[in-house]
Chain A
Amino acid sequence: MISYGFKQRIASVVVYIFLAVMAFLSIFPFLWMVIGATNTTSDIVKGKMTFGEAVVANATTFFTQVNAPLIFWNSAKITIIATVLTLLISSLAGYGFEIFSSRFREKLYTLMLLSLMIPFAALMIPLFMLMGKFGLINTHIAVVLPTVASAFIIFYFRQSTKAFPHELRDAARVDGLKEWQIFFLIYMPVMRSTYAAAFIIVFMTAWNSYLWPLIVLQSNETKTITLVISSLGSAYYPDYGVVMIGTVLATIPTLFVFFAMQRQFVEGMLGSVK
């Protein structure tokens, strides 16, 4: 007869094999990217899977072909402004939806959630015309504006606000705080894990955003890193080593943000108020 302990050991072996395969699948693209950055195009195409010596050559080509400081600054600027504005506006909206009731609240909220179902491709041309009317084509503010009221982040904040204790708000009111003070002085600090999780989501979305910046940015001076990598990769004979270097460099900020805020992210996802 097979003992209980043996059965359990088999089960955990199976689980570990499964996890190992999954971990490999998640890590492999990153590994391949880093290895690719050190190889020449022809080695990459041949499927060479070991580190090569071309990293300096690739980096040199990248930095001569691309005005890297400007491009990274463009991306950083857009990302920081978009993240700050989105967190501020969307959390305020999510908080408002949950805390204050009115006759139209649920209808408005449903309407807003429905907007999540409209594909961006359908909004692109009207949005472009709108930006044209505002005279904002080829400006970074045009990239940021349509994203700051994010239906998903509002939804996320409303759900999290359900866990925000009424007692805290009531106590604050009794102590004479105004509504906006409650939001900025009580709600924001209490919900910091929620903000951290939202920060990561918004930061990554803004940093990696592609289609809308592509449509609205028109010159080499305003382009973001995602657009530059895309154009490097589309030559008739793309230099994949250079593309990989660019991709590695573009990944570093998101990696950094994620690892720096990993603990809060997990907490935020689990619900922040204890």
Chain B
Amino acid sequence: MSLAGSPALRRYSRHLLIPEVGLAGQERLAAARVLVVGSGGLGSPVLQYLAAAGVGRIGVMDDDTVDETNLQRQTIFTTGDVGRAKAASAAEHLRALNPYVAVDAIPVRFTAANARELVRLYDLVVDCTDRFSTRYLVNDACVLEGKPDIYASIFRFDGQVSVFGAPGGPCYRCLYPEAPPAGSVPTCAEGGVLGVLGGIVGALQANEALKLLLRIGEPLVGRLLLVDALGGRTREIAYERDPACALCGDAPTIRDVRASDEDDEAPLDGEIEPSELDAALANAQLLDVREPHEVVLGIVDGALHVPASELEARLHELDSARQYVVACRVGAKSRWAVQRLRDAGFLRVRHLRGGLLAYAASRPEFEFF
């Protein structure tokens, strides 16, 4: 794509001054197509920097709507966007930021059904999702389609960045073969995240994407960059392609994206929907397993509070003959707690799907967030 004589050229003058970029590099960016999966804490800076840098076509994929609790870190959105579809809203901001880039707003979830087809349309994919299941889908689709997957993830003060699926390089499954058991690792919705961490880590992620597109520097292939915002430190861990990897190893067993990787929220036995909670509590005790610091986000009258982290030590306080409905904020920690309780012989335990947050969504008088 020739930019010579283009009205966009002036905008990129600080790039053109760098020998490693220059006009040829800027033309590479203008010809590039990047799919960004997720437009949240990581996606915001990634999208903004890729659009500002002049990446010619950007896919913004997100099936969510903007919530007020997103604004603490998702800087692509403004207060007036609350309630709007994220993909459309982010696309609008990107077009305003740089009218010379084409933006595809894709307001659907990345699933096994659309993964490979979408990945094929772009040169590389930036994984800015917030759930393990989608991360595996992105990785698998990228490896199978031969496209690099620029990975980053964040939690509280910690971030990880790496590049998967580069020619000869390792993939996500070489590092973490399978998704962790549901509920064992808290998400940002559950555990929180320092807003600026998405900015720090997302900017590193955008940097990796730009380096690959420009074919300059040393991409984070086979290197996991760890960001510790609390300590103000970064560290690098080397890892290699695993010959036994189920996806990119010498005898792969995963030959296509799998719908089973789509949803790590498969229903538990004895699960109840938020709308069924009031009726269920007529003859069951609500067991609130949120951590003590989460209680500030809403108090549930009549609940028995045993934080998940203390559950093992406090099992003796519970009565295995009694019926419990186990709940936490978003329904992940409570899943783990239900499994633990059942292993310990509590057979009359039920689980509140979606957690107290889902329950609160249907009960405006219940102050909870």
Same complex: no
Residues on B close to A: CB < 8 A? none
